[in-house]
């Protein structure tokens, strides 16, 4: 398994990115200003985009694992990689997601804690209703994770 940063032709991963954020205009708002990573084992299994929000804070904007490879540890491997990588550059990793029983438990299991909510985010920023696990997403739920020196040491 390897994780590589993609610097050019980021839209080649649009199909996967749309699994994590189903409106292309939203992806366009952060894709070019963010760092895109692809996890390969041996082919692409997962992708994610991280943006620098300033002041030592980074935001995981999109994390998507190809459906045949979900629940096999690839998402967790990407989060662990990001924590190690960004601990060298900052102190906090944020992630915003819908209040979904599919994503909230994942981020909690990865060591994130709830930070804040943006009311009506999915109603105000998407051109159609977004549903996940049978639930309409309304508010954006933000989670945060402190990046520690121990994360830096794990890089070796």
What's the pLDDT at 150?
A: 55
pLDDT of the residue at 90: 96
What is the per-residue pLDDT for 7?
A: 96
Distance CA 154, CA 83 (A): 10
According to the model, what pLDDT value does residue 152 have? 44
Closest of 85, 91, 27 to residue 54, by C-alpha? 91
pTM, rounded to two decimals: 0.90
Tens of pLDDT along the chain (156 residues) come to 999 999 999 999 999 999 999 999 999 999 999 999 999 999 999 999 999 999 999 999 999 999 999 999 999 999 999 999 999 999 999 999 999 988 999 999 999 999 999 999 999 999 999 998 899 999 999 999 999 855 444 444
Neighbours of 37 (CB within 10 A): 20
* Dist CA 26 CA 101 (whole Å): 22
Question: How far apart, in Å, are the Cα atoms of 104 and each of 64, 109, 142, 143?
Answer: 14, 9, 10, 9
CA distance linking residue 90 with residue 103, whole number of Å: 24
Confirm if 37 and 3 have CB atoms less than 8 A apart: yes
Residue 153: its pLDDT value, please? Answer: 46
């Amino acid at each position: 398994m390897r994780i590589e940063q993609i610097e050019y032709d980021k839209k080649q991963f649009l199909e996967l990115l749309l699994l994590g954020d189903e409106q292309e205009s939203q992806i366009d708002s952060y894709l070019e200003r963010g760092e895109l990573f692809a996890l390969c084992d041996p082919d692409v299994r997962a992708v994610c985009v991280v943006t620098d929000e300033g002041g030592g804070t980074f935001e995981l904007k999109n994390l998507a694992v190809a459906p045949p490879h979900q629940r096999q540890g690839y998402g967790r491997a990407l989060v662990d990689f990001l924590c190690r990588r960004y601990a060298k550059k900052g102190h906090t990793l944020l992630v915003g997601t819908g209040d979904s029983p599919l994503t909230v438990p994942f981020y909690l299991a990865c060591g994130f804690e709830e930070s804040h909510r943006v009311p009506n985010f999915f109603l105000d920023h998407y051109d159609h209703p977004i549903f996940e696990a049978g639930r309409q997403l309304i508010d954006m739920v933000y989670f945060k994770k402190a990046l520690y020196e121990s994360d830096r040491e794990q890089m070796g």
